[in-house]
Structure 1
Amino acid sequence: MRQARYTRRGPVPHDVIEAVEFTLPPPEAGQVLVEVMAAPINPSDVLTLTGQYGSLPPLPAVGGNEGVGRVVEAGPRVTGLKPGQSVLLPVGSGTWTTHMLADAKALVALPEGADFQQLSMLSINPPTAALLLRDFVELQPGEWVVQNAANSAVGGYLVQLAKARGLRTVNVVRRESARAPVEALGGDVVLLDGDDLAARVREATGGARIALAVDAVGGMATEHLAQALTPGGTVVNYGAMGGEACALSPASLIFRDIRLRGFWLARWFREANAEARGRLFAELVSLIASGRLRAHVQATYGIDEIRQAVAAAASGERSGKILVLPNG
């Protein structure tokens, strides 16, 4: 058994983590032993390694916040799960590991035969995209949404979920090479960010009403989105890829009544009841299992390649997700 462990945090994320051997006891009552099949590396994982994320686990810690596994052995008094069953791993459980013990009640059984690599990315980015579209502005089919970081994993899921709801998307990227992947996913309009973004958005949409903007960059990119909104619109920020605080001008805030909101999935998990979480995940599992919702995987790495994997995930030039396949 091997796991990707870190005992400190530092500015270079791949320098602080390494693959180490470990052992586990047999599962106790109510527990199962799980073999981890796939676990993604998300921006939040990288920020956790550098110490910049909003919630940090105590050290030492095992990296990874989501993934899928296969039940190897069930302890006493476990019902509903049996060896060979594919399961969604609990969020925040340290998933960059070949094996883990988990409370059987915390696991979600997954449909057999579905793409386990796609399902491994279920717990964070797809619900983030779904909730950003659902919980801040009431949108009707045919209306527009504008987002930046559209070539990110959340951005890709948002494009697909918006299309499934009959919404249209303006997708903002920061480099020319990012255009094609977003267009391939079904983005209606793809534009490079810039000071004149609002004018180009109005031209591309025929001056259509846009009430919701989704921001993952911060800095002046937030203001660019705000300028593209209809007066009274809402910008929802869920990240700071640009490394700067959100900028919102007095003109946007006061004269155009633009609202700035924040979204953190961890808070939603804490506040939503089990029924709400279950409904959302059931919908997303169905879409992913059927192939109607997916993310591009750029590369996969074994557990002993964890430093290379984290370095690849931290790169700004990625074209897809980095996955850890701990058992090959």
Structure 2
Amino acid sequence: MSTPKQARYESRGPVPHEVIRAVEFELPPPAAGESRVAVLAAPVNPSDVLTLTGEYGQLPPLPAVGGNEGVGRVEAIRGEAHGLTEGDIVLLPVGCGSWTTHLNLPSKTLVKLPHDVDPVQLSMLTVNPPTAALMLSDIIELQPGDWVVQNAANSAVGGYLLQLARRRGINVINVVRRSSAVQAVHDLGGEHVLVDAEDLPKRVRDAVGDVHVRLGIDCVGGVHTEHLARCLVPGGTVVNYGAMGGDRCMLSPRYLVFNDIHLRGFWLAQWFRKARPERRQALFAELAGLVADGTLHARIQASYGIDHVREAVQAAASGARDGKIVIEPNGPSRAAI
């Protein structure tokens, strides 16, 4: 094994890529009950960027290693294997500090994955796909044929939500903030794609008619929250799961009171705390199967080696992306695909 490296930060600040860097470190042999894992791929999520700036809702103590999810290959096992063997491809536990070439983890926390699936696609399994799946199932009861509207449709969650909704027979109106993002959503199978603006409700009606839209899924905040709310029938629900626009959610009493619009939030970490282990296991098993058979996939803009973590974070923080940024600590970087 070559000298391990990890992407470490000792402070937080407004320019996220300036606070993190790749450093060498000493990795001891696995302790009893642990496995040494070589990390194959780990995405850079918006939550990772917000963690570096200090704006996320849950911050690890400093110093810390970046990265909340990923996939790796088991290189060594000490003690009880919990069904693992050396060479297995495994899903890393959430919050483990996945931007690293190697790490030791409790074997019982590792989930075995298929060998014949792109590890980059598997590396995004624990955050964005379950967020999309749960917002389609746990906010309001949706049936095949129902309609939802989402903004940030070109984001990773937006792409997974579109794919899952299509599988469940749910119709999606997709909203983006720039015209250059429209084609990427069309390429994922989005039939109705609109650029956000004040007249969004009128253009939604022009595009799909007077359908009953009961759920709006918001990742932008600001006035964009209200744009979605105005597309809903009275009594509809807007669920917010992010603030890509940088502003608090705005919703006039005209819609909150007189249209009985409900505004609520969703944070996957809260769901993890409350969900029964068997439900978590069933959800991940379902989603892993859908990634394995190609039903679920995310567009990758670029990937970076561990030595280029700063460039990776800077690219992920850019607002003009049409794909995911991924770190491949033990592999070559790739161009957009």
Tell me, yes or no, whether TM beats 0.5.
yes
Normalized against structure 2, the TM-score is what?
A: 0.96
Specify the alignment match of 1:88 in structure 2. Answer: 91
Specify the alignment match of 2:201 in structure 1. Answer: 198
Question: Of 41, 45, 57, which aligns to 2:44?
Answer: 41
Specify the alignment match of 1:243 in structure 2. Answer: 246
How far apart are the structure 2 equivalents of 1:281 and 1:113? 18
Specify the alignment match of 2:15 in structure 1. Answer: 12
Counting only pairs closer than 5 Å after superposition, residues 92-131 of structure 1 correspond to structure 2 as: 92-131=95-134
**Secondary structure in 2 matching 1:32:** strand
**Secondary structure in 2 matching 1:114:** coil
Question: Is residue 315 of structure 2 the alignment partner of residue 324 of structure 1?
Answer: no
AA aligned opposite 1:283: E
**Offset of residue 78 of structure 1:** 2.1
**Offset of residue 85 of structure 1:** 0.2
Specify the alignment match of 1:75 in structure 2. Answer: 78
Specify the alignment match of 1:281 in structure 2. Answer: 284
How far apart are the structure 2 equivalents of 1:230 and 1:186? 25
What 5-or-longer segments of structure 2 have no aligned partner? 332-337
Specify the alignment match of 1:171 in structure 2. Answer: 174
**Secondary structure in 2 matching 1:228:** coil
Question: Of 287, 301, 308, which aligns to 2:304?
Answer: 301
Q: 1:250-270 CA distances to partner (integer Å, 9 max, x unpaired)?
A: 111111000001000000011
Specify the alignment match of 1:312 in structure 2. Answer: 315
AA aligned opposite 1:299: A
How far apart are the structure 2 equivalents of 1:193 and 1:315? 19
Kindly indicate whether the alpha-carbon contact (under 8 Å) linking 1:232 and 1:258 is maintained by their aligned counterparts in 2. Answer: yes
AA aligned opposite 2:263: L
Q: 1:173-210 CA distances to partner (integer Å, 9 max, x unpaired)?
A: 00001000101111121001011101111221211000
How far apart are the structure 1 equivalents of 2:217 and 2:189? 17
How far apart are the structure 1 equivalents of 2:120 and 2:14? 29
Say which is worse superposed, 200-209 or 219-228, in terms of deviation: 200-209
The total of aligned residue pairs comes to: 328
**Secondary structure in 2 matching 1:208:** coil
Question: Is residue 234 of structure 2 the alignment partner of residue 226 of structure 1?
Answer: no
**Offset of residue 42 of structure 1:** 0.2
**Secondary structure in 2 matching 1:266:** helix
Kindly indicate whether the alpha-carbon contact (under 8 Å) linking 2:82 and 2:108 is maintained by their aligned counterparts in 1. Answer: no
How far apart are the structure 1 equivalents of 2:262 and 2:206? 23
**Offset of residue 288 of structure 1:** 0.2
**4+ residue segments displaced more than 6 Å:** none
**Offset of residue 273 of structure 1:** 1.1
Question: Is residue 190 of structure 2 the alignment partner of residue 184 of structure 1?
Answer: no
How far apart are the structure 1 equivalents of 2:121 and 2:216? 26
**Secondary structure in 1 matching 2:297:** coil
Normalized against structure 1, the TM-score is what?
A: 0.99
**Offset of residue 229 of structure 1:** 0.2
How far apart are the structure 2 equivalents of 1:242 and 1:123? 24
Q: 1:212-261 CA distances to partner (integer Å, 9 max, x unpaired)?
A: 00000001000000000011000000000111110111111111000001
**Secondary structure in 2 matching 1:212:** strand
How far apart are the structure 2 equivalents of 1:197 and 1:319? 22
Question: Is residue 290 of structure 2 the alignment partner of residue 290 of structure 1?
Answer: no
How far apart are the structure 1 equivalents of 2:82 and 2:281? 19
Kindly indicate whether the alpha-carbon contact (under 8 Å) linking 2:5 and 2:25 is maintained by their aligned counterparts in 1. Answer: yes
Kindly indicate whether the alpha-carbon contact (under 8 Å) linking 1:168 and 1:188 is maintained by their aligned counterparts in 2. Answer: no
CA RMSD of aligned residues (A): 0.6
How far apart are the structure 1 equivalents of 2:92 and 2:127? 12
How far apart are the structure 1 equivalents of 2:276 and 2:115? 27
How far apart are the structure 2 equivalents of 1:239 and 1:167? 22
Specify the alignment match of 2:269 in structure 1. Answer: 266
Kindly indicate whether the alpha-carbon contact (under 8 Å) linking 1:162 and 1:168 is maintained by their aligned counterparts in 2. Answer: yes
Kindly indicate whether the alpha-carbon contact (under 8 Å) linking 1:29 and 1:78 is maintained by their aligned counterparts in 2. Answer: no
How far apart are the structure 2 equivalents of 1:190 and 1:29? 53
How far apart are the structure 2 equivalents of 1:173 and 1:318? 12
How far apart are the structure 1 equivalents of 2:210 and 2:160? 25
Question: Of 124, 149, 152, which aligns to 2:152?
Answer: 149
**Secondary structure in 2 matching 1:151:** coil
**Secondary structure in 2 matching 1:150:** coil
Specify the alignment match of 2:164 in structure 1. Answer: 161
